[in-house]
Amino acid sequence: MFVLAIDQGTTNTKALVFAQNGEVVRSASASCHTDYPHPGWAEQSASEIWATTRQVIGETCAGIEAEIEAIGISNQRETLVVWDATTGEPVGPAPIWQCRRTADECAALIETGHSEEVSALTGLGINPLFPASKLAWVLKNRPEAEDLYRAGRLRAGTVDSWLLWNLTGRQVFATDHSNASRTLLFDTARLAWGPRLGEVFGAPLDCLATPMPSDSRFGETAEGATTLPAGIPIHAIMGDSHAALFGHGVRGPGKVKATYGTGSSLMTLTQQRTVSRHGLSGTIAWTQNGKTAHALEGNITVSAQAAAFMAEMLGLDGPAALSDLAQQVPDNGGVCFVPALAGLGAPHWQDDARGLVSGLSLGSRPAHLARATFEAIAHQVADVFEAMEEDLGHPLDGLSADGGASANAFLMQLQADVIGKAVERRKIPEIGAFGVASMAAEALGKPIEAGSQEIQIFHPAADSSARCTLRDQWKITLARACL
């Protein structure tokens, strides 16, 4: 038995075929382009997202199509795709989760006192990260969208809905509870779209996908949609961060995972629906076997992307070269970098914050900037980690890491030093793909074994004094970036 996991992320689309023993037997990846047409805007082509999905499916499944028994989808969240149900054509580019084009509208809603009401229903704070204000923006700024809505042809959904609709030959328009909970339009107590939320954001609910449990049989592949034969069940859908938590084997409160990607996400399960008091989000982790698991999450806007940014600024050949440079110095030489390149996410939520480098002197070298960049990634994770401890009211034992940047042992050691706790790293960095494949296999009654998921542990090497000095330096520079 093979299970296909489609892992559609911000920077690339991946497909991985898992055997029942947990091993990856095939994999492929195709890059996705992001445009930044105006300051604060970030958008992608939904057509390219689907094209890369078809491409990686074809590459991974060639010759073994008949052995694929189920499909799971893990996807970048909060990205809004709007399309014409008749033609299948997207209505303009898709504003992704990083897009801040609706910052003013969100600020106005906060100013007029809607925060408490919205948070009570969704667990989320009002922020342009989420699709609710983006949908209102599309209807206001793209006349064709309003025309399609009046004609009953407008479809609006997150990336999972777009992929599912295409995989099923335009027959199924649905989403799962984890993705729905990230829209600011989903009542997480009722597990349904919230009419009051639609009113607050000026976003119509009748063009949204049907919310379903994460382990549902969402539909089946259609003939000709991809190289796959018709009739393969799509049996699991989760947002990428949720799928990673599931892939780590977390099934109850007490453990925290961090996914290091373009941005980063920390998530931990909670006993019940939780409204954070420290800048985090209450969210649905997944619904499986009829039971809904709730979680706390902190989303960092620019994480591993900071390394790519700094590598380009220094004229280096990517993050790997930056990491090599960073390890040429024993410390940051007093240099600190806050990568608020698209504002700051959790737990600070400062849309107008901007990137800042401090502590430069005549003794500063490119290597110090490089090291400060990796430290910044670790500091942002530590900020969320500490906020979680405050919300939960007790210390956390450590961190389970995944995502592309977790493959960097230098970064993982820095992370352990900065939080003062052990960091565990899984053998497969694409743990989200493993998670959604596992859920799909469980839904089939054929669980995937997790025995091959080896774990490497990074223990703190810095003493408490050195850690406190690093954290204090970061907090001082962070405060300046937020002015």
335: in domain? no
Residue 25 maps to a domain? yes
Taking the C-alpha atoms of residue 409 and residue 398, their distance in angstroms, rounded to an integer, is: 16
**Burial class for 191, CB neighbours closer than 10 Å (0-12, 13-18, 19+):** middle
pLDDT tens-digit series, residues 401-441? 988 899 999 999 999 999 999 999 987 768 999 999 999 99
pLDDT of residue 452: 55
Nearest C-alpha neighbor of 356 from the set 467, 476, 224, 458:
476
Kindly state whether residue 273 falls inside one of the protein's structural domains: no
pLDDT tens for each residue of 56-86: 999 999 999 999 999 999 999 999 999 999 9
Residue 263 is predicted with a pLDDT of 87
CA 205 to chain centroid, in Å, comes to 23
Instruction: Please compute the mean of the pLDDT values over residues 247-272 and round it to a whole number.
Output: 90
Q: Is residue 152 part of a domain?
A: yes
- Average pLDDT over the chain, rounded to an integer: 94
Q: Is 60 exposed, middle or buried (0-12, 13-18, 19+ CB in 10 A)?
A: buried
Give the separation between CA 450 and CA 1, rounded to whole angstroms: 15
- pLDDT at residue 302 tops 70: yes
Q: How far is CA 368 from the centre of its chain?
A: 29
* Residue 396 within any structural domain of the chain: no
CATH number of the domain within which 207 lies? 3.30.420.40
Residue 290 domain flag: no
The answer as to whether 322 is a domain residue is no
Judge if the upstream peptide bond of residue 347 is cis by omega within 30 degrees of 0. yes
| pTM of the shown model | 0.88
Asked if residue 113 belongs to a domain, the reply is yes
> pLDDT tens digits, residue range 328-387?
999 999 999 999 998 898 999 888 899 999 999 999 999 999 999 999 999 999 999 999
The CA distance from 476 to 471, in Å, is 9
Count of domains observed in the chain: 1
DSSP β-bridge partners for residue 26 = 17
pLDDT digits over 309-319, tens only?
999 999 999 99
- Pairwise CA distance, residues 473 & 336, whole Å: 7
| pLDDT in the model for residue 184 | 98
DSSP summary character for residue 22:
S
Looking at residue 380, its pLDDT comes to 97
At residue 214, the pLDDT reads 98
pLDDT tens digits, residue range 10-44?
999 999 999 999 899 999 999 999 999 998 899 99
Query: Which domain covers residue 121, as residue numbers?
Result: 2-242
Would you say the C-alpha torsion 115, 179, 199, 132 has a positive or negative sign?
A: positive
